[in-house]
Structure 1
Amino acid sequence: MALKYFSAFVLLVGLGLLLVGASHYMKTKDFLTHSTTTTGRVIALESSDTGDQVKLRVRFLDHTSSAVEFTSSVSNSSAYAMGDHVELVFLKNDSQVAKLKDFKHLWENVVDPLALGSLFTLIGWLMVRKRRRSLSSPYDFQQCSEEVEEEVEADIYHLVCDHRITVDGQHPFVVICHWRDPKTNQLHELISDEIYFNPAPYLAEDTVRAVINHRDPNKSYLDLSFLPKSVA
């Protein structure tokens, strides 16, 4: 039961991340559609509070030739220096909304959730699929927990002397029994190994103990261990 909810949780997290990635993609696409590209100049490099990134302050001229400044965080501070020219994009109707024109600043918030969402969705789907296949298996948990072999009482149907076989001048006998599975109503016929004496005097009952193999009926057999090894 716990695995059922966990697999559903993983799948939902994956689908949620995919939705987030798709939402960011549409926003980025809309931003690029309504933006224009220009070149700005780095006027300041400021350390961030965490210390693992640097805030890059850039100044550029918008479409009205007005000077605009914006700040962008970068992880590789050595790639920038004071006075460097950088390419950027900004909204035509709002020049205060600007981003550096590179893959990280434009598409990172799209790629990350899509990649994680794909991974979580795949794992969750495989877990759900595996669980469903196990539930739909011919041998469900309850059936697999049972023993494959079952001892039953099979009805003696016929005692036959097989004249096709002769060993030391004797024809073997075989015992043929029938047993009907009460669950499936399937009739099983079981034939004993060759017996080189007449076992009729030892078959006092109308039934014989049989071992039924439910997984492989060909491995079912009659238990005639009560018969003597030989008769003088």
Structure 2
Amino acid sequence: MRAIRIIGTIFGVVGAGVFVAASVAGLKTYRFVSVAERAQGRVVELVQQPGGEGVRYAPKVAFVAATGLAYEIIYAVGRNTPAYEVGDTATVLYHPHRPLEAHLAGAQALWAPALRLGGLALVLGGVALGALGMLWARRRRVARLRARGCRVAAAFHGVERNFALQIKGRHPFRVVGQWQDPATARVYVYHSENLRDDPTDFIDRASVPVFIDPADPGCYYMDLSFLPRLN
């Protein structure tokens, strides 16, 4: 659970930072669009831009601003298959005081930074919420078992490494207990939560307390409150 809490915290903090960046990028784009002027431009050249997936083509667009001065811009996001041909017309949005700060109207590049960052923030936030949800569900289950469950004494069978999990290059420890249901004679093996340190030296008893659901003994919580705080 400690690992999940750390992961949730990290993803939550990073996600919040990315969300702020997405908000700033979106606000910057919104401010540009709110003051931008439009001009009819023409594609004068397809500029080759080397990329990871081969050559990409970005249109160079010439337009005349309201001041009568001519400018040229290159659409920053190129494509393997050109979206424009030389001679095509394209509507340009440009800043009235900084005409070279221009974008093609309706182009994905205009909102792409904010959208990409926003999508990343959603993913990171989803991971953080998922981790918090797991912690909340576990705490609720433990509280329910403590309040309504049956406390049994599981025979202490030792401490093992959880090789299915690795945290910071180390496999955590977990206490193993065994209990036989007197009503069905079925034997249940119980594992504690993952522990960073080996608790063997602090267990001087033959059994460990486990809270089980009377209707489903496979639903349980091993109580290690008798141990010193190891993690």
TM-score range, shorter chain: 0.5 to 0.7
The 5 Å alignment of 1:5-154 reads 5-50=6-51, 51-73=54-76, 74-75=78-79, 77-135=81-139, 137-138=142-143, 148-150=151-153
Deviation string 1:80-109 (CA, Å, 9 cap, x unpaired) is 111111111000111111111124021111
Taking a change above 3 Å as real, the CA distance of residues 2 and 63 of structure 1, as seen in their structure-2 partners, is same
Name the count of aligned residue pairs.
Answer: 153
Shift of 1:23: 0.7
* 1:76 CA drift (Å): 5.1
Rate the CA distance shift 1:56–1:103 in 2: closer, same or farther, 3 A. closer
1:214 Cα offset (Å): 6.1
CA-CA distance at 1:24 after TM superposition: 0.7
One-letter code aligned to 2:5:
K
Q: Which amino acid in the other structure matches residue 33 of structure 1?
A: S
Q: Taking every aligned residue pair, what percent have the same amino acid on both sides?
A: 19
Any unmatched runs of 5+ in structure 1? 152-212, 219-232
Q: Alpha-carbon deviation of 1:125?
A: 1.3
Superposed CA offset, 1:54-86 (max 9, x none): 222111000111111111132154321111111
In structure 1, what is the Cα distance between the partners aligned to 2:8 and 2:211?
Answer: 33
CA distance in 1, matches of 2:17, 2:50: 30
Partners of 1:125 and 1:12 in 2: CA distance? 12
d(CA) in 2 for partners of 1:115 and 1:215? 42
Q: Which amino acid aligns with 1:37?
A: R
Change (3 A) 1:62 1:133: same
Instruction: Provide the TM-score with structure 2 as the length reference.
Output: 0.58
Determine which structure has more spread, i.e. the larger CA radius of gyration.
Answer: 1
Q: Is the 8 A contact 2:58 2:82 kept in 1?
A: no
Distance (whole Å) between structure 1 residues aligned to residue 10 and residue 126 of structure 2:
12
Contact 2:35 2:96 in 1 (8 A): yes
Q: Which amino acid aligns with 1:2?
A: A
**Aligned-partner residue type, residue 82 of structure 1:** V
Q: 1:44 & 1:103 partners in 2: Cα distance? A: 18
Shift of 1:130: 1.6
Q: Which runs of 5+ in 2 are unaligned?
A: 155-209, 216-231
Q: Which amino acid aligns with 2:127?
A: I
